[in-house]
Structure 1
């Protein structure tokens, strides 16, 4: 396996993130040697949820959205939950971050409800994606080709449906980072 210690991943989240969709990919990336940075609206601890209805763990972001320089990162990971992407897609800087990663052809990975950010940033037209069922019409209306699969990789864009798919989602992200790392060597 390639050395991923120089790879840097940015995660965006705020209150209402699905606990497993932030903590599990984050841990898989850390275990692979990747440097992970969490950005949010503020640097106060953010509240996770479990199945969108009970409080989960909290985590303290490393920096605010306004402090993010996308040139410092190789990939962007967007956890779901209903409240998290719904709040995040109202943040102009969050949408700019998604657009910058896509414009630079960097890895963008979104799970569950997180593709709402992709819709709002207008980056899914003509792309094959998947998501939580209630987000699929929004994706189709934005021009995406929506399929019902554990994980969909369309060039630099990785999407996944739900917490049960996290192992496949993590594997796809790490494989994509491995490809980038091997081309940088």
Structure 2
């Protein structure tokens, strides 16, 4: 049996908001062993990590099959390819997280022929759907004791766009929300 790659999505910690949902790649090898391949930490301390057992306390909320890789792809080659995917900790990468890394890792695997663009696109699409099922932030708790706040929800889609919903609130608005949608091209590793 050749190696099977899946994409895992876990509930967000400390709260289940979309930006906190953890994602990882899972490899089930022909010998029955498996690895979780992901980035852990927070900006600016993200790092690649390989775990032989589920690193999370809870099981994933989504287990998305991505592909079966060619027989020529060894365990070492797959781990090396994922370990070579960039981990972004720069000042301009504050919004980057494990979700971006998964997209970039899958793109790198497409480039070396381990999976197709279509398999990557389907997996990313399902990942995004699962991430968007997370709870929405409670706006009222964010607005306590402040005169002006901007709340930015960042959501990326399988067509690699970042969508920013920005709501500006002031004490005078007393709950009247001016919601504007901005669409900005963003490359998730294509």
TM-score, L = length of structure 1: 0.29
- The TM-score with structure 2 as length reference comes to 0.28
Where is the strand percentage greater, Structure 1 or Structure 2?
2
Greater per-residue helix proportion: 1
